[in-house]
Amino acid sequence: MTNAHSETSQTDADREVVVELDEVTTRYGDRLVHDRISLCVYRGEILAIVGGSGSGKSTLLRDMLLLQTPDTGSVRVLDIDTAHHPEAYTLPLRRRMGALFQYSALFGALTVM
């Protein structure tokens, strides 16, 4: 994976970074899933993560949504380094995030009413 924002323009420097991954490495046991991924998501930006089955898309989202902690590197949300805060502190940050799944992730037996 490469960082689409590797060349920062003046306009990028002026925009607010909402989520930043810096040198994130994630493993499951001996399996290396991500190796030093760095990227920024800016306010108002729409980001699509595309890849084959088993390529680490869901793992990357779990890192970004603070649902898991990467083995190394840092995840910053709204300029807060989440590695240095307890779980209770990251809960309000997670409440401000969302993800859209390819297939419906709703419970068919439940209604809005």
**Cα–Cα distance list, 92 to 45, 52, 101 (Å):** 21, 32, 22
Span 49-86, pLDDT tens digits: 888 888 999 899 889 888 889 999 999 988 888 877 77
User: d(Cα 39, Cα 4) in Å, to the nearest integer?
Assistant: 7
Note the CATH architecture for domain 10-94: 3-Layer(aba) Sandwich (3.40)
Confidence band of 26 (pLDDT split at 50, 70, 90): very high
**Cα–Cα distance list, 64 to 9, 18, 113 (Å):** 23, 10, 32
Domain boundaries along the sequence of the chain: 10-94
